[in-house]
Chains A and B, each alone.
Chain A
Amino acid sequence: MRQFYRRFSAILKARNLEFFRDRSSLGWSILFPVLLLAGFALVFSGDGKSQYKVGVVNKTSEVSEFSQTKFVEFVSYKSEQNALDKLRQHRLDLLVNYQSKTYWLNESSPNGYFMEQILLSKINAKDWKKDSVDGRQIRYVDWVLPGILGMNMMFSCLFGVGYVIVRYRKNMVLKRLNATPVTAFEFLTAQIVSRLFIVMFLSSAVFIGCNWMFDFYMLGSYFDLFLIGVLGAFSLISLGLLIASRSRSEELTGGLLNMATWPMMILSGVWFSLEGSPEFIRQVAYFLPLTHLVEGARAVMTEGAGLMELSHHIAVLVTMTLVFLGLGTVLFRWEGDGR
Chain B
Amino acid sequence: MFSMSAIVEVQNLTKQYGDLTAVNGISFGVNRGICFGLLGPNGAGKTTTIEMMEGLIQPTSGEIAFFGRALDKEALKQIGIQFQSTALQDYLTVNETLELFSSFYPEPADKDEVMSLCDLHEIADRRHQKLSGGQKQRLLLALALINDPQILFLDEPTTGLDPHARRNFWDLISDIKKRGKTIILTTHYMDEAEYLCDEIVIMDQGNIIAQDTPQKLLTDHFSGAIMRLPIANLGDIAISDIGRPFGEHHVDIDAADVEQVISDLLSRGIKLEGLQVKSANLDDLFIKLTGHQLQETSETEAGESI
A interface, CB within 8 angstroms of B: 3, 6-7, 9-11, 13-15, 17-18, 21-22, 168, 171-173, 175-182, 335, 339
Q: Find out whether the CB atom of A181 lies under 8 angstroms from the CB atom of B73.
A: yes
Bound complex: CA of A175 vs CA of B82, how far in Å? 11
Q: Which residue of B lies closest to A179 (CB)?
A: B81
Of B28-36, B86-94, B207-215, B259-267, the segment with at least 4 beta carbons within 8 Å of chain A is B86-94
Q: By CB atoms of chain B within 10 A, which of A3, A9, A10, A14 has the most?
A: A14
The A interface is mostly helix, strand or loop, or mixed, namely: helix
Q: Which residue of A lies closest to B84 (CB)?
A: A172
Task: Select one of B76, B89, B147 contacting A15, CB under 8 A.
Answer: B89
Q: Find out whether the CB atom of B56 lies under 8 angstroms from the CB atom of A178.
A: yes
Q: Find out whether the CB atom of B101 lies under 8 angstroms from the CB atom of A180.
A: yes
**B67 close to chain A: CB less than 8 A:** no
Chain B min CB distance to A88 (Å): 49
Interchain Cβ contacts within 8 Å, total number:
68
Q: Find out whether the CB atom of A14 lies under 8 angstroms from the CB atom of B89.
A: yes
Asked, given contacts A18-B89, A18-B92, A181-B77, whether A10 binds B83 with beta carbons under 8 Å apart, the answer is no
Of B102-110, B227-235, B273-281, the segment with at least 4 beta carbons within 8 Å of chain A is B102-110
Task: Select one of A7, A22, A168 contacting B103, CB under 8 A.
Answer: A7
The B interface is mostly helix, strand or loop, or mixed, namely: loop
Q: A7-B104, A14-B89, A180-B101 are in contact. List 6 more A-B contacts (CB 8 A).
A: A17-B91, A18-B89, A176-B86, A179-B54, A179-B76, A181-B76
Task: Select one of B81, B89, B106 contacting A173, CB under 8 A.
Answer: B89
Bound complex: CA of A22 vs CA of B127, how far in Å? 12
Contact with A along B96-133 (1 / 0, CB 8 A): 10011101111000000000000000000000000000
Chain B min CB distance to A22 (Å): 6
Chain A min CB distance to B273 (Å): 51
Report A-chain residues with C-beta under 8 Å of the C-beta of B89: 14-15, 18, 168, 173
Report B-chain residues with C-beta under 8 Å of the C-beta of A3: 106
Q: Which residue of B lies closest to A13 (CB)?
A: B100
Q: For the side of the interface on B, what is the size category? A: 20 to 34
Bound complex: CA of A18 vs CA of B73, how far in Å? 28
Q: Find out whether the CB atom of A176 lies under 8 angstroms from the CB atom of B90.
A: no
Bound complex: CA of A177 vs CA of B147, how far in Å? 13
Q: Find out whether the CB atom of A18 lies under 8 angstroms from the CB atom of B90.
A: yes
Report A-chain residues with C-beta under 8 Å of the C-beta of B73: 181
Chain A min CB distance to B155 (Å): 11
**B85 close to chain A: CB less than 8 A:** yes
Bound complex: CA of A19 vs CA of B106, how far in Å? 27
Q: Find out whether the CB atom of B56 lies under 8 angstroms from the CB atom of A179.
A: yes
Q: Which residue of A lies closest to B104 (CB)?
A: A180
Q: Find out whether the CB atom of B86 lies under 8 angstroms from the CB atom of A21.
A: no
Bound complex: CA of A14 vs CA of B127, how far in Å? 13
Chain B min CB distance to A10 (Å): 4
Q: Find out whether the CB atom of A10 lies under 8 angstroms from the CB atom of B100.
A: yes
Asked, given contacts A171-B87, A173-B88, whether A14 binds B105 with beta carbons under 8 Å apart, the answer is no
Q: Find out whether the CB atom of B104 lies under 8 angstroms from the CB atom of A10.
A: yes
Q: Find out whether the CB atom of B96 lies under 8 angstroms from the CB atom of A17.
A: yes
Report B-chain residues with C-beta under 8 Å of the C-beta of A175: 56, 83, 86
Bound complex: CA of A11 vs CA of B91, how far in Å? 13
Q: Find out whether the CB atom of A180 lies under 8 angstroms from the CB atom of B91.
A: no
